[in-house]
Structure 1
Amino acid sequence: MSHPSSSGDQVSVIPKSHTIWIPPPPNLPCSDLLKGSREDYIKVGIPLFQAATKGDWEAAKALLGHRPKLVHYAITENKETLLHIAASAESTKAVENFVKNLVNLMDMKDLELQNRSYDIALSLAAQAGNIETAKIMMEKNRHLIDISNDNRIMPLYMAALFAKPDMVRYLYDKSNHMRGDCWVNENRGWVLQKCVEAEIFDVALKIVDDYPNLAFKKRLLSNVLLALAHNAGAFEKKETYVFKIIMSMFNVKVRLHEKDTEAMQFLRKIWEKIVIMPKREIDDILRGQPLKVETYPSSPTKNGYYKTYLSRILFVATKMGNTRFIVELVRLYPDLIWKVDDKEKTIFHLAVRCRQINIYKLLFEVGAMKDLITPMKDYKGNNMLHMVAKRIKQKRLQHVSGAAFQMQRELLWYKEVEKMVPPKLRQEKNNGGQTPQELFTETREKLLKEGGEWMKHTSSQCMVVATLIATIVFAAAFTLPGGYNQNTGIPFFSKEPSLIIFVISDAVSLICSSTSILMFLSILTSRYAEDDFVESLPRKLVNGIATLFLSIVTMMIAFSASFFLLYNKKLEWIPITITGLAGIPVTLYVFLHQGLFMDVFKAAYQSKRLFKHTNKHTLYS
């Protein structure tokens, strides 16, 4: 089933319920305007609709003055009243004033009118997040908050469903924390789940505190944990944009000494209650609901079928890279590191498969147990090294720019896991008869080719620029500003500081551009073997780009210095202006290529630190 919004779009909002509840007929408004002549509807209904949408009270007032009963008439085919339309309109001062004036003309019962979807105007205001509109209606009729639709869905649920945090907080307080005859644990649980999905954790914490018995409903707990598992960002402490840029430039990670996020507080509160349950119930919660049935010939069951649980919470969190979530679960339930999914992979095998480095690095913290985990195989006989070798989805490499650096990252993963697994597994074949190295070479053939082409294309373009600069500065070295004394051969401005700056800058530019050419030439003549992408090619590229940048900077310095020689002090503003303009290409170069340069620099000089293990423990800190 679905719940129609006021615009006619179908939005799925109805939670699953295990109880049968037959709703009463909706409290519909009068339909006389819709049943009457079409001409009357065009003259009255359409102007009212437009006035409510724009907040044009004067236009509505003129019509309502002649026909005051229109305040409780339906003006749409879905049986929305004028208040329904205004409540769901974009919140502006004009709309708020419109609602205030309209409500003054209505009785309390008029505010309880429902459309065909059983929604009152407050429910539409809740899903739109129009707090001021909701306040106006609540002041007129405080019982509105307890009116549900045909599926016992309250306005509070609608606000949480459409992720309107301020509205949720307001309605939660006005509902007396969901107390009353209309509230049962089932619809309270719906609100809790939607608050978690919408990241309104402050209200979610209040609900758990107000209703501790909700923490013992397995299906609800499973859904809530699944929502948290999907949301890795909710557990990250917020940092300013500038702070992130500075830290990323220097590859520095700083752990901010702040209190835990509200998401973490919420997770701890419910997980502490889950872990004291019987083991079977914990496993049921973490496993989730079976979604489909598949048959795996390599691991048949007695009945010939295999239940697949695609919403296994621990493994969803692993795929999403939700490290803090997994750490929190494992702290109170260490045996989770041994759990396997439907394809017999542990969280560490899946972390390798999905390239979730922080979860993989937790292996360093489990001590000798890692020597028992790494040899484990999936249902197709793939060990952990096969997991690295298998073809990876392109979206897993989107954060790495360029095919060459993507190839490097894949090689680094392979070499890291190769050191982690027992030596005998490195040559072990899977059920398909392939060793990890054979599988890696086969699946990375295309990426290797694309990486080589990317390197060649980038080097060729940069080499053209470096050659042009070398040509210019070489010629400039023999045509000094002001010329030479024909008798002595000494430059006329030999004692001027500007000439010394010109000569030195020109020489440095020539040397740097020549070095850059040699670097790019060595890349073009490389054999492009797999191991070349690990360190050799990235370092050559970063050195080539760095010397090219330095040659551009020193060329501009030489260019600017020459004007200080040619103009006397009375016209000093000319060389100063030119020097300022000469900084534009340098600035543009930095601005346009900073992303590439940082990626190349990290790939060349910081890639080996990617899997570096620190003494600071995350798992059992």
Structure 2
Amino acid sequence: MEVNNFCSSAIVAQVLNGKDNYENWKACAKNYLWVRDLWDVVEQTSEPPQQEDKAEFKAWSKRNVAALHAIQISCDAIMLSHIRNMTTAKDAWNTLAQKCQLPMKEETSVARFIDRTHMLELLKAVKEHALESTKSVLTSHTHLANAVIGDSSFTTFHFAIFDGQLDMIDEFLSTMSEEHLKMLDRHGRTVLHHAAMTENTKIAQSLIRKSRELLTFLDNRGYIPLNAACLGGHKDMTHYLYNMTTREVLLSPENECQAALFVCQCINNKWFGIKQIYDLKATHIYAHELLLLMSKTIAASDVAQFDQSSVHQAMLNAAQRGVTEFIVEVIKPNIDLLMVLDEERRNIFQIAVAHRQEKVFSLIYGLDAIKYPLIAYTERDYNNMLHLAGQLSPQSQVKLQQISGAALQMQRELQWFKEVEGIIPPMLKQHTNKEGETPYEAFDRSHANLVKEGEKWMKDIAQTSTIVGTLIITIMFAALFTVPGGPDQDTGVPLLLTKKLFKIFIISDSISLFASTTSVLIFVGILTSRYTAPDFLKSLPNKLIIGLSSLFISIVAMMVSFSSTVIIMVKGQLEIVIPIVLLAGIPIGLFVWLQFPLLVKIFISTYGPGIFDRKMKQWL
């Protein structure tokens, strides 16, 4: 084979050795043809001729050098380290075949030359869930259980796995040996890797019962089935395979990277991520062990290994998603990760600000003087940390959706801006970004629509509450001049003035009148307020708290006044009093259900401890 042809086929080996060159692979190879080509060249260079035959030896040397060179240039740094000092293409190929677990030529031949008619019959039976027909075909043609479909690496067994019929799987397994289950496709995957890409844990159970060793096989990306399931985001399958993969496997020295990769993938697939790991390890104890083990592994890796790993991206993902435990434990022994940057050249604290992750941002209070260059850093578009706090990005809007009400959302944005403003150097407060905006100009522009939405939200509440408050004022004012029992005709003094219930009526009526009047005046003030951005931090929330609180007090007092009047009128007849008093509690209950949670949220947001932990203990 010519060197150029060999190199074309060798490009495909890049996929198996860590380089993603799928388009080139499609262009130069079909099915297992490239394996055959490479194998043929290796066979041609297997045994050197006698050196006495100089012409033949020279030709062999030329072929060997060309083949060895083509194999070496197809490898990444890690795989190249295994064959760097080898002198023959055969040795290099055999080593790579062992490391990557490539399919052998004999397996390829069997897979390619099968009876297509019987294969189609089997696929149809599987698709139609015809168990007897499937059993008949597999009994007559047992080799079809592992037959490759067309030019893909997809076998008939894989087809049955993704079809999801457990009885079909058991029928296939009855005709297959344990060695058949361990066969690898061109991507180095076993059948358990394929099953891990589904949510059908019962199929995985059947495969593991046949061979537990399947749990430890690595595909060409270096993933065991557990990590393949986690990468695909299959929660149930991940939990099942995690329970089936023993502690010894995950914590063994040769599998340290698997444990680290599992934690990274859990972070990438948020909330069945770190939280569930910690929940699971509450019974198994070693959640923290995984994290510490990963940190030590990272600290012990060289530059090449570090660059090949996904630690950099995992750290950025942790900052975006607010996984503070991961950030702290990994950075402690790997201080250089404190300086990682994303594609926009933002550090982890700038990312936290952009994504509004207050727990990650609060970690900056637990740093010593090293925090100052991180605070003052500007990203690719010359935005400093205050610019990012002032920009209402899509990422920050996702976090804002967790807060009800545009006014409270605006208040939270102001709290973020004020918090960052309090820690950055004064010179950066007037710093302009690539668009020529200061942080304050960026904030005003970015939040203009949110200010309008907040104004509308507050005015809607104020208008509705004003109507309710006005009705209560009217009723309570009129009730004072139509007191129960009536007045004395000569003096005009109420006849029941000395009664305790009458005194309760007078006091509760007065409280309701005063509270409702206060609420109406406050809501009128909200309707006539100026709506600038800073007003949403304290001024407007304060008014809303006072207005809603006054309205709540007025409703409660009105119901007390009504109940006391009813008791006076019916003269203690409990069969009438009790139902009426219970009914009087319905309006109070409705207000508590509909409006009180909002009042509590506003109060906590305005006067609560805040979302930032300024007393963070030093952790680095």
Quick check: TM above 0.5? yes
Alpha-carbon displacement from aligned partner over 1:534-570 (angstroms, at most 9, x marks no partner): 111111101211221222222222223322222244x
Structure 2 match to 1:505:
508
Which runs of structure 2 are paired with 1:181-580 in the superposition (5 Å)? 183=217, 186=220, 189-197=223-231, 198-199=234-235, 200=238, 203-204=241-242, 206=245, 209-210=248-249, 212=252, 215=255, 225-231=264-270, 234-236=273-275, 265-286=289-310, 312-393=313-394, 394-569=397-572, 571-580=573-582
RMSD (Å), alpha carbons: 4.1
Q: Please, which runs of 5 or more residues in structure 2 have no aligned partner?
A: 1-14, 18-99
Structure 2 match to 1:584:
586
Q: Distance in 2 between matches of 1:134 and 1:263?
A: 34
Which runs of structure 2 are paired with 1:156-175 in the superposition (5 Å)? 156-164=192-200, 168=204, 171-172=207-208, 174-175=210-211
Secondary structure of 1:433's aligned partner: coil
Structure 1 match to 2:95:
none
Q: Check 1:265–1:463 CA distance in 2 against 1; reply closer, same or farther (3 A cut).
A: farther
Q: Check 1:609–1:232 CA distance in 2 against 1; reply closer, same or farther (3 A cut).
A: same
Structure 2 match to 1:85:
129
Secondary structure of 1:275's aligned partner: helix
Which runs of structure 2 are paired with 1:34-183 in the superposition (5 Å)? 74=122, 78-81=123-126, 85=129, 113=145, 124=160, 128=164, 143=178, 146=182, 153-164=189-200, 168=204, 171-172=207-208, 174-178=210-214, 183=217
Q: Which amino acid aligns with 1:194?
A: A
Q: Which amino acid aligns with 1:475?
A: A
| CA displacement at 1:171 relative to structure 2 | 4.2
Q: Which amino acid aligns with 2:448?
A: E
| CA displacement at 1:451 relative to structure 2 | 1.9
Q: Which amino acid aligns with 1:24?
A: A
Q: Check 1:518–1:600 CA distance in 2 against 1; reply closer, same or farther (3 A cut).
A: same
Q: Please, which runs of 5 or more residues in structure 1 have no aligned partner?
A: 1-15, 35-72, 87-98, 241-255, 289-311
Q: Distance in 1 between matches of 2:281 and 2:157?
A: 45
1:80 and 1:114 in contact (8 A); partners too: no
1:127 and 1:159 in contact (8 A); partners too: no
Alpha-carbon displacement from aligned partner over 1:120-143 (angstroms, at most 9, x marks no partner): 679746874x77986798689775
Q: Distance in 2 between matches of 1:80 and 1:330?
A: 55
Q: Distance in 1 between matches of 2:483 and 2:283?
A: 64
Q: Distance in 1 between matches of 2:362 and 2:438?
A: 24
Q: Distance in 2 between matches of 1:461 and 1:149?
A: 67
Secondary structure of 1:429's aligned partner: coil
Q: Check 1:526–1:201 CA distance in 2 against 1; reply closer, same or farther (3 A cut).
A: same
Q: Distance in 1 between matches of 2:310 and 2:187?
A: 28
Q: Which amino acid aligns with 2:212?
A: N
| TM-score between both structures, scaled by the size of structure 2 | 0.70
Query: What's the % identity of the aligned pairs?
Result: 29
Q: Check 1:602–1:568 CA distance in 2 against 1; reply closer, same or farther (3 A cut).
A: same
Q: Which amino acid aligns with 1:458?
A: I
Q: Distance in 2 between matches of 1:400 and 1:361?
A: 20
Q: Distance in 2 between matches of 1:558 and 1:110?
A: 90
Larger displacement relative to structure 2 (316-325 or 21-30): 21-30
Query: Which structure has the larger Rg?
Result: 2
Secondary structure of 1:161's aligned partner: coil
| CA displacement at 1:357 relative to structure 2 | 0.8
1:122 and 1:145 in contact (8 A); partners too: no
Larger displacement relative to structure 2 (446-455 or 131-140): 131-140
Secondary structure of 2:422's aligned partner: helix
| CA displacement at 1:347 relative to structure 2 | 0.5
Q: Which amino acid aligns with 1:520?
A: F
Q: Distance in 2 between matches of 1:350 and 1:214?
A: 34
1:374 and 1:421 in contact (8 A); partners too: yes
Q: Distance in 2 between matches of 1:150 and 1:80?
A: 26
Structure 1 match to 2:51:
none
| CA displacement at 1:191 relative to structure 2 | 0.9
Q: Which amino acid aligns with 1:189?
A: Y
Larger displacement relative to structure 2 (259-268 or 184-193): 259-268
Q: Check 1:530–1:107 CA distance in 2 against 1; reply closer, same or farther (3 A cut).
A: closer
Structure 2 match to 1:58:
none
Q: Check 1:480–1:173 CA distance in 2 against 1; reply closer, same or farther (3 A cut).
A: farther
2:411 and 2:537 in contact (8 A); partners too: yes
Q: Which amino acid aligns with 2:598?
A: L
Q: Distance in 1 between matches of 2:227 and 2:451?
A: 46
Q: Check 1:518–1:336 CA distance in 2 against 1; reply closer, same or farther (3 A cut).
A: same
Alpha-carbon displacement from aligned partner over 1:171-209 (angstroms, at most 9, x marks no partner): 4454223279xx555487241322434353574483673
Secondary structure of 2:213's aligned partner: coil
| CA displacement at 1:366 relative to structure 2 | 1.2
Q: Distance in 2 between matches of 1:572 and 1:154?
A: 78
| CA displacement at 1:443 relative to structure 2 | 1.9
1:319 and 1:354 in contact (8 A); partners too: yes
Q: How many residues align?
A: 504
Q: Distance in 1 between matches of 2:487 and 2:173?
A: 91
| CA displacement at 1:279 relative to structure 2 | 3.5
Q: Distance in 1 between matches of 2:202 and 2:567?
A: 63
1:314 and 1:326 in contact (8 A); partners too: yes
| CA displacement at 1:261 relative to structure 2 | 7.9
Q: Distance in 2 between matches of 1:595 and 1:339?
A: 41
Alpha-carbon displacement from aligned partner over 1:5-44 (angstroms, at most 9, x marks no partner): xxxxxxxxxxx75466448159889769x9xxxxxxxxxx
Q: Which amino acid aligns with 2:367?
A: V
Q: Which amino acid aligns with 2:267?
A: L
Q: Distance in 2 between matches of 1:237 and 1:113?
A: 37
Q: Distance in 1 between matches of 2:476 and 2:211?
A: 77
Instruction: Give the structure with the higher percent helix.
Output: 2
